[in-house]
Amino acid sequence: MKQWLIFATENAIVFIDALALVIVVVGTVEAFIGGLRAMLSSPAGHERRDIWLRYARWLVAGLTFQLAADIIETSITTSWEAVGRIAAVAAIRTFLNYFLDRDLEDVRRRQREATESPPAA
């Protein structure tokens, strides 16, 4: 029974990491194409900001999936060295995720304030 759980866990980790990879790659390609369009058409600043906000959302999603895989990996790890490595990687991912999410929320708040405040006369 234990071997079956280890097998299932290892496969789940690979699958979740693959999902995270797909999320980050798709987000990166989308941001790259959007960035090229923005450079060629010289859009307003808010359009460029929207491109990077969408990219940040993709990255937050990818980091969240990777963190999930790290959490699962700790359940089958037997050496303290490996647990320490996973913990360090998880801490870095959590740190990045926190600040990306905080920046996204800050931009959303500023956008809400800009749309809710009446235009200057």
Assess contact for 20 and 65: CB atoms under 8 A.
yes
Q: What is the pTM of this model?
A: 0.75
The pLDDT of residue 101: 82
The pLDDT, as a whole number, for residue 93 is 81
Q: Compute the average pLDDT of residues 23-45.
A: 88
The span from the CA of 89 to the CA of 98, in Å, is 14
How does pLDDT run across 52-95, given as a tens digit for each residue? 888 988 998 998 898 889 889 888 888 888 888 888 888 888 88
Above 90 in pLDDT, residue 12?
A: yes
- Which residue has better confidence, 113 or 14? 14
Burial of 30 (0-12, 13-18, 19+ CB in 10 A): middle
Q: What is the pLDDT of residues 41-64, one digit of tens each?
A: 876 667 777 888 889 889 989 988
